[in-house]
């Protein structure tokens, strides 16, 4: 299916949003599948951005290397930088896919532009992931307690992830006039 055909189909879905007669189950499934694909892309990009944000500040790998070490190899986490980064990327892409699907199903905020909704809900989503990461992944599964400054940077990194993910998904989602077009300002930049 060509990009222009997909755009037409997405536009017809958004024009009939809230009207059950115009959207069949198949097109709704396609809509969610497209949103999940955008979430996967956004999760990949947002994870790279978050990792680039956190590495110079914390000067350490994401704690996913600890997960790999504790549950797979049983040895030192410092010996598994590639596995830790790959697992971190997997978490980010998976979380992005979930966000994309949820974002496509949420209709209460349709009164604001998708880009704005993406930023707002991406921020909230990033903070939920951060809280889950601290409470479940670090404290319960890995028995890691972060110091106050590390905790603040952990939360900041997930906020950066959420903002990046939300901006990506929101700028490429339904209601955007032409998601393939680059943003231009009045002077042509």
Compute the C-alpha angle 43/35/154, nearest 5°: 25
Residue at 184 is within a domain:
no
Residue at 2 is within a domain:
no
Q: What integer pLDDT is reported at residue 175 of this predicted model?
A: 53
Residue at 51 is within a domain:
yes
Q: What integer pLDDT is reported at residue 25 of this predicted model?
A: 58
Residue at 53 is within a domain:
yes
Q: Tell me how many domains the chain contains.
A: 1
Is the model more confident about 13 or about 51?
51
Name the nearest CA neighbour of 171 among 103, 93, 105. 103
Lowest-confidence region among 44-53, 66-75, 91-100, 178-187: 178-187
Q: What is the dihedral of CA 69, 94, 109, 170, to 10 degrees?
A: 110
Is the pLDDT score of 51 beyond 50? yes
Is the model more confident about 153 or about 109?
153
Q: What is the dihedral of CA 165, 170, 171, 177, to 10 degrees?
A: 170
Residue at 20 is within a domain:
yes
Residue at 176 is within a domain:
no
Q: What integer pLDDT is reported at residue 21 of this predicted model?
A: 42
Is the model more confident about 25 or about 134?
134
Is the pLDDT score of 2 beyond 90? no
Tens digit of pLDDT for each residue in 117-133?
999 999 999 999 999 99
Tokens, residue 148: 């106050």
Q: Residue 15 belongs to what H/E stretch? A: helix 3-15
pTM of the model: 0.78
Residue at 185 is within a domain:
no
Q: Where in the sequence is the domain holding 52, given as residue range(s)?
A: 7-171
Question: Are 138 and 150 contacting, i.e. CB atoms less than 8 angstroms apart?
Answer: no
Average pLDDT over residues 103-114: 74
Lowest-confidence region among 2-6, 111-115, 123-127: 2-6
Tokens, residue 71: 């549950």
Name the nearest CA neighbour of 180 among 35, 4, 37. 4
Beta-carbon contacts of 180 under 8 Å, excluding residues fewer than 6 positions away, are 3, 7
């Amino acid at each position: 299916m060509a990009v222009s055909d997909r755009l037409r189909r997405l536009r017809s879905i958004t024009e009939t949003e809230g009207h059950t007669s115009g959207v069949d189950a198949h097109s709704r499934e396609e809509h969610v599948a497209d949103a999940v694909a955008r979430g996967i892309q956004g999760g990949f990009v947002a994870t790279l951005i978050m990792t680039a944000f956190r590495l110079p500040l914390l000067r350490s790998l994401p704690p996913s290397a600890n997960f790999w070490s504790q549950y797979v190899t049983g040895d030192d986490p410092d010996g598994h930088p590639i596995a830790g980064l790959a697992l971190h990327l997997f978490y980010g892409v998976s979380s992005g896919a979930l966000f994309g699907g949820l974002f496509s199903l949420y209709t209460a905020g349709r009164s604001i532009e998708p880009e704005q909704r993406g930023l707002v809900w991406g921020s909230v989503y990033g903070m939920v992931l951060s809280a889950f990461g601290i409470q479940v992944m670090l404290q319960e599964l890995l028995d890691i307690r972060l110091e106050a400054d590390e905790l603040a940077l952990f939360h900041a990194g997930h906020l950066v992830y959420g903002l990046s993910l939300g901006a990506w998904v929101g700028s490429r989602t339904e209601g955007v006039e032409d998601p393939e077009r680059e943003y231009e300002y009045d002077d042509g930049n």
